[in-house]
Amino acid sequence: MLEFIETSHGPAGKREIGKHFGLKGQEKIALKKLLKDMAEEGLIDGKKSAYTQMGGVPKVTVLRIVEIEDGEPVAIPDNWSDEAPEDPPRLTVREGKKAKNGRAFPALKVGDRVLARTEQSDAGWRAEVMKKLPAASEGMMGVVEVDGSGKAWLAPVDKRIRHSSPISDLGGAENGQLVFAESTGRSPKAAVKVTQVVGDPLAPKCFSLIAIAKHGIPHSFPSEVPEAATLASQISLGEGREDLRALPIVAIDPADARDHDDAICATPDGKGGFDAVIAIADVSYYVRPGSPIDREARKRGNSVYFPDRVVPMLPEILSNEVCSLKMGADRAAMACHLHIDASGKISNFRFTRAVVQIAHNHAYEEAQAAVDSGNPPQHLANLWAAWEALAKARADREPLNLDLPERRVVLNDAGQIEEIAVRERLDAHRVVEDFMIAANVAAAKALENKAAPVVYRVHETPSREKLISLREYLGTMGKKLALGQVVKPSLFNRILKEVEEEDEKQQIMEAVLRSQTQAYYGPANAGHFGLALGSYAHFTSPIRRYADLLVHRSLVDAYKLDEPVHSGDVPKASGLSEVDSNSLQQISDQISQTERRAMEAERDTVDRYVAAWLSVRVGEVFDTRITGVQGFGFFATIVGLGGDGLVPVSTLGREYFKYDETSQALIGENSGTRYASGDRLKLKLAEANALTGALKFVTVDADGNAIEPRGGPRPQHGKKHKGKFVGGQPVKGKRGRPANIRHQGRKKS
């Protein structure tokens, strides 16, 4: 049909198409629906039912966002053929006034698909969004499984997809191999064809590749970016920098860190306070606005950290070499000078561009061991003394104190799992954290004082709806949460302080965490609730976060620190460009989304490693704690290891379990058996799928044997079944569900 429309000399409407293909009766009705679908897909102009040539871009078409440039989404046609003689046109996308439901369109991000009206002018192609489309099913990743009849299926690695898809074209793939595939039809259950063979799905370092593919994380740099980075790395440090090379500035990082963003130094002022310097890599000096490096960094938004690799925001020649604050090497830094008084308050601050030479690169464990020895080097003794003052100020403002464990995956040299453990929390971590918080606050306040643009790190107060849910939940545990007051983090801290039993405290901490809003970036200040701070910005990690780079550029402008580069290949200005200054909301929305994408990818990968670690222990009984309850079952995590697994309610036997949302519990109707969030119990590991990261548990009896569900259907409390029964059993449909059963009302069973 498209070929006919495209080659037709006159209007190719429904009548012409029907005549050409000899359609009659019901076929014409089907044609009308098909044309409507094609119009929504953007394959034809929906108004005239005619394909519009115009360089191969229909007036209404599906576009895919490939970049955010100067705050505006840039897209290409989603169905552009790789065999086309020309590169796909790039269209600047502007959002329509409102979606059909009357709400404003959500901010677009890279990878989104939209239905849009297109137009071409002297300024180039532009498009206006009509509606945002669901994520495409193409680009799926999965494992080839060949059944007994020889038919091939794609088992998806995304645990949210609960069905396998038939494979129409293996593309050379073999049973058990990890592949990329794309759908051959519009239905979610349409057949797929293999487009790329990855190989062994359980090979070392494969789990992060799955996450990179699933979340669409850019992981290879376009050729012009490393070239531009090499040129930028050759820029001299300049003449006007403050020389701080004589100071004992040290970097304290993880033992395996390769990019060192920050380093710190503190010296006593003789009055009980300290003069401190927080030196941060001067990334804005090398990554100039509008450069290829800058455009790629903005697209990525942040570095992504996996157990086996890092997907960096910047090319390695910058992130691991020129910008990284390494011991003994002269490095360009943005220096935050603070004075910390004896009470831990910051009495003044200023920012300079400096040249530093790091005296020591310490691992956290090494620095902690030196301090614990009782005879640390003077530079560490001064840092810990200054931190004690900062800790006092922190305690006075009472930020939210949730000490939740973090899993750490340790790999050997072959990339195989050596250990999965809870990450140890040392004072050395807190020292660095509190110095970084102080510098971040100073950056935000400095820019406010100079009326300069700020990209804030915003964490809003929990919504009233979430607070009411938390109050009701705490009420089931005999705890009170008074809401007739200004809600501060200290309110939650007092509740936790009163809890002595460790399991209960863990349970309440998780409930408090669920009540919190998600932090984000934005140019409008709404404070940081969790840290109990009125103004907060990210300044200390410009190698791995684009938000910090924007704050650096604004500081360069505010303090007049720009050092133009006299090179035709490198943009001269290093401050905040006018375009960026006017687009901070759009840029902030984008980097907030890339941050969430990175968090999901990192969490998914750790889940896969945990599942792989446990796959050889299926059948073992573990001590677990319930972390969440829903009507369909409950989730539990292995104590001391992590890894959330599902216990479906269908495996709890024939008794009907009622879900109590307030207390977050499943309660047996007859026995009163209760499964509630926070409960500890022994569960048997029934499944551990390393490819999806999914775990499944079953309950056990006193002897550790799995409690199998009894045969036959579970009683349906309060439901009257109207349908087909044979021998007292409901007739099953194609998917194993009872056929033709309708719920008519309530009755006692």
Both 170 and 278 in a single domain? Answer: no
SS3 string of 92-133? EEECCCCCCCCCCCCCCCCCCEEEEEEEEECCEEEEEEEEEE
Task: Tell me the torsion sign for CA atoms 198, 200, 205, 209.
Answer: positive
Residue recorded with tokens 């576009």: 63
CA neighbor of 545 nearest in space, from 252, 352, 304: 304
Provide the token pair at 209: 């590749």
User: How far apart are alpha carbons 51 and 307 in whole angstroms?
Assistant: 49
Provide the token pair at 50: 């005619």
User: How far apart are alpha carbons 201 and 174 in whole angstroms?
Assistant: 12
Compute CA distances 470 → 174, 400, 548, whole Å: 51, 16, 34
User: How far apart are alpha carbons 2 and 43 in whole angstroms?
Assistant: 8
Say if 392 falls within a structural domain: yes
CATH of the domain at 637: 2.40.50.140
Say if 52 falls within a structural domain: no
Residue 649 DSSP label: G
Any residues with CB less than 8 A from the CB of 325 and at least 6 apart, and which? 251, 260, 261, 262, 263, 279, 281, 331, 333, 356, 358
569 CB neighbour count, 10 Å cutoff: 11
> What is the Cα Rg of the chain in Å?
30
Give residue 157's pLDDT.
82
CATH of the domain at 165: 2.40.50
Give residue 52's pLDDT.
42
User: How far apart are alpha carbons 320 and 17 in whole angstroms?
Assistant: 60
Looking from the CA of 250 toward its CB, the CA atoms found within 13 Å total 24
Say if 423 falls within a structural domain: yes
Provide the token pair at 98: 């409102």
Q: Choose one of 699, 718, 738: the last residue of a domain.
A: 699
User: How far apart are alpha carbons 9 and 165 in whole angstroms?
Assistant: 41
Phi, psi of 155 (to 5 degrees): -90, 110
Any residues with CB less than 8 A from the CB of 501 and at least 6 apart, and which? none
Say if 528 falls within a structural domain: yes
Q: At what angle do helices 427-449 and 546-558 cross, to 10 degrees?
A: 50
Contact 221, 312 (CB under 8 A): no
Both 442 and 472 in a single domain? Answer: no
The distance in angstroms from the start CA to the end CA of the chain is 58
Both 276 and 330 in a single domain? Answer: yes
Both 503 and 544 in a single domain? Answer: no
Total domain count for the chain? 4
Q: Residue 10 class from Cβ within 10 Å (0-12 exposed, 13-18 middle, 19+ buried)?
A: exposed
Say if 744 falls within a structural domain: no
Q: Choose one of 699, 721, 744: the last residue of a domain.
A: 699
CA neighbor of 326 nearest in space, from 359, 295, 350: 359
Give residue 322's pLDDT.
95
**Which residue type sits at 679?**
D
User: How far apart are alpha carbons 339 and 347 in whole angstroms?
Assistant: 6
Say if 724 falls within a structural domain: no
Say if 691 falls within a structural domain: yes
DSSP symbols for 378-396: HHHHHHHHHHHHHHHHHHH
Which residues, given as ranges, of the chain have pLDDT below 70?
Answer: 2-11, 39-56, 79-87, 95-106, 134-139, 159-160, 162, 186-189, 204, 565-571, 708-749
CA neighbor of 698 nearest in space, from 688, 686, 687: 686
Both 468 and 447 in a single domain? Answer: no
Contact 59, 118 (CB under 8 A): yes
Say if 11 falls within a structural domain: no
Contact 93, 63 (CB under 8 A): yes
User: How far apart are alpha carbons 710 and 696 in whole angstroms?
Assistant: 19
Provide the token pair at 455: 């990209």
Both 530 and 488 in a single domain? Answer: no
484 CB neighbour count, 10 Å cutoff: 4
Both 552 and 598 in a single domain? Answer: yes
CA neighbor of 550 nearest in space, from 279, 287, 371, 735: 287
Contact 336, 539 (CB under 8 A): yes
DSSP symbols for 194-229: EEEEEE-TTSTTHHHHHHHHHHT---S--THHHHHH
Both 528 and 511 in a single domain? Answer: no
Q: Choose one of 603, 629, 663: the last residue of a domain.
A: 603
Phi, psi of 3 (to 5 degrees): -65, -40
Both 598 and 654 in a single domain? Answer: no
Both 356 and 394 in a single domain? Answer: yes
Contact 167, 153 (CB under 8 A): yes
Both 182 and 331 in a single domain? Answer: no
Any residues with CB less than 8 A from the CB of 747 and at least 6 apart, and which? 718, 720
Contact 59, 117 (CB under 8 A): yes
Both 477 and 444 in a single domain? Answer: no
Report pLDDT digits (tens) over 74-110: 888 876 654 455 667 888 888 655 444 444 556 787 7
Report pLDDT digits (tens) over 493-511: 999 998 888 878 888 998 8
Q: Which residue range(s) make up the domain with 501?
A: 464-516
Give residue 566's pLDDT.
62
The bridge status of strand 165-169 relative to strand 178-183 is unpaired
User: How far apart are alpha carbons 434 and 391 in whole angstroms?
Assistant: 7
